Homo-oligomer: A and B are copies of this chain.
Amino acid sequence: MSVSALTAGNSLSVPKRIVIAGMEGCRACSVCEVRAHGICSALNDDELSQLAQAAVRVTIPPGRQLIEEGSPADEFFNITAGTVKLFKSLPDGRRQITGFVGIGHFLGLAVSDRYAFGAEAIDQVRLCRFSRERLETVIDEFPRLERRLRNEAANELVAAQDQMLLLGRKTARERVASFLYGQITELYGDDIPQTAKLHFPMTRADIADFLGLTVETVSRTISGLRREGLITTGASHEITVPAPSRLRTIASGEE
């Protein structure tokens, strides 16, 4: 389901842009929008063109699942646009989103032969697709890539540990503040402005599944933060934060 869905998604959503394996990718990489990000930044142009031969670029419409939990892990992805949610589910439907990943993110670092998580496009997503086999070949030739992947994994691990602290020990208020502050740092990096304007793609349900809460609690908590003057809400996916540092304080459990 997962892989075929992906292929179908490509041909259905961008019929005018048929991708021929190994061709378009070959051209695209050196001028790719994520040339400077993710694993690609670890390679020079020559090396990149080798990688390109293993890549296919595809576009995924919002809501389409690109990886199904437990399906054979024979592909890797590199996101070039949009946002993907990663998740795990229980048999009765309870769901935990383990992360939102965007531009430059490398997806599919599974060790086993099956994906341990699902992945679904939140908005329109573009990505490069590699077969596991071909990527491994390229990796063997470029040790730098290997290190890059290790660092990528290590970074994700740090984020996962933060999220475990959040899920295991933070209150609803602290969780929502953490989420919002996380969105701020993702958007602005270390250069946080006095007033941050956010426009995120995920729904309240996504946020709830990410924070281990219900939609109602997320909604109520956001309303609470608004009443306190800590945030201003525009459209449902737009939030303005007049004093990000106050949010950071709450997020880290200091009040």
Interfacial chain B residues near A116, Cβ < 8 Å: 158, 161-162
Interfacial chain B residues near A170, Cβ < 8 Å: 90, 94
**Can you name the residue of chain B whose Cβ is closest to the Cβ of A109?**
B154
Interface contact A154-B95, CB-CB below 8 Å: no
Chain A count of residues within 8 A CB distance of the other chain:
44
How far is B161's CA from A95's CA once the two chains are assembled, in angstroms? 12
Identical chains bound together, number: 2
Interface contact B117-A253, CB-CB below 8 Å: no
Q: From known contacts A92-B253, A253-B94, A254-B91, infer whether A157 and B168 are also in contact, taking CB-CB under 8 Å.
A: no
Interfacial chain B residues near A89, Cβ < 8 Å: 165
Stretch of A51-59, A141-149, A183-191 lying at the B interface: A141-149
Q: Tell me whether A14 is interfacial, beta carbon within 8 Å.
A: no
Chain A 53-92, CB within 8 Å of chain B: the 1/0 string?
0000000000000000000000000000000001011111
Q: From known contacts A94-B253, A96-B169, A252-B91, infer whether A111 and B154 are also in contact, taking CB-CB under 8 Å.
A: yes
Q: Tell me whether A205 is interfacial, beta carbon within 8 Å.
A: no
Report which residue of A89, A160, A253 has the largest number of chain B beta carbons within 10 angstroms of its beta carbon. A160
Q: From known contacts A94-B169, A253-B92, infer whether A111 and B151 are also in contact, taking CB-CB under 8 Å.
A: yes
**Can you name the residue of chain B whose Cβ is closest to the Cβ of A160?**
B160
Interfacial chain B residues near A146, Cβ < 8 Å: 143, 146-147, 150
Chain A 98-121, CB within 8 Å of chain B: the 1/0 string?
100000000001111000110000
Partner of A161, one of B98, B111, B211, B253: B98
Q: Tell me whether A9 is interfacial, beta carbon within 8 Å.
A: no
Chain A 22-61, CB within 8 Å of chain B: the 1/0 string?
0000000000000000000000000000000000000000
How far is B165's CA from A163's CA once the two chains are assembled, in angstroms? 11
How far is B92's CA from A151's CA once the two chains are assembled, in angstroms? 31
Interface contact A96-B158, CB-CB below 8 Å: no
Q: List 14 A-B contacts (CB under 8 A).
A: A88-B162, A91-B252, A92-B254, A94-B170, A96-B164, A98-B161, A98-B164, A109-B153, A110-B154, A150-B153, A157-B157, A160-B161, A163-B164, A164-B167
The 6 closest A-B pairs by CB, nearest first: A168-B212, A153-B153, A167-B167, A160-B160, A90-B253, A96-B168
